Structure 1
Amino acid sequence: MSAETARRSVRILTWAGLATGVIGGLLIAFPKALAFGGPWVQLALGIATLVLAFRARKAGIAEVPDFDGRLSLLAALLGFAVVFFAGQVAFGILMSAGS
């Protein structure tokens, strides 16, 4: 893969990760936006954010000579926050359903 192709794929992965993270964060801030399956959608968006961010970082470190990974790092941190807060709500739902 050429450096320009790698740079383009890193850019796409990073911005897609940021977009999914922002959507997940907005759903956490406004939990009534989704009437059904809210925490599970948030959890899926957080996991997708993490996957996209770490794929961008891996490709950037390996194939882009002057890679600056601050945006993909921001996406990864956003993904961890979304998974943390959505995971708390999902865990609470599972515990209330079990008892």
Structure 2
Amino acid sequence: MSAETAHRTVRILTWAGLATGVIGGLLIAFPKALAFGGPWVQLALGIATLILAFRARKAGIADVSDFDGRLSLFAALLGFGVVFFASQAAYSLIAAAS
């Protein structure tokens, strides 16, 4: 992979991860925004954030010589937070149903 392609790939993956993490965080802050399937959408967004952030880190470490992974690390931490809070909400729904 060329350096320019690697930079573009890392940039796209990092910003996509941040965007999904922010959307997931907003859905956690305002849980009534989605009438149906809220915790499951939040959980999916958190997992997508983690996947995108770690793929950005992997590509950056492997292919970019001057890689600064702070932004993708922030996206990963945001993804962990979204997964944590969304899984609590999903568990409470499962517990209430049984």
2:75 is paired with a residue whose SS is helix
The residue number in structure 2 matching 1:25 is 25
Distance of 2:34 and 2:95 partners within structure 1 = 21
The residue number in structure 1 matching 2:77 is 77
Report runs of 4+ in structure 1 exceeding 4 Å deviation.
none
The residue number in structure 1 matching 2:64 is 64
Distance of 2:5 and 2:94 partners within structure 1 = 44
The residue number in structure 2 matching 1:95 is 95
Gaps of 5+ in 2: none
The residue number in structure 1 matching 2:6 is 6
Distance of 2:86 and 2:7 partners within structure 1 = 32
Number of residue pairs matched by the alignment: 98
Gaps of 5+ in 1: none
CA positional deviation for 1:4 = 0.8
Q: Does 1:53 align with 2:46?
A: no
CA positional deviation for 1:80 = 0.2
Distance of 2:17 and 2:65 partners within structure 1 = 21
Task: Calculate the aligned-residue CA RMSD, in Å.
Answer: 0.4
For residues 56-99 of structure 1, what are the alpha-carbon distances to aligned partners after superposition, in whole Å with 9 as ceiling and x for unaligned? 0000000000000000000000000000000000011111112x
The residue number in structure 2 matching 1:35 is 35
Q: Percent identity?
A: 84
Distance of 2:30 and 2:86 partners within structure 1 = 12
- The amino acid that maps onto 1:79 is G
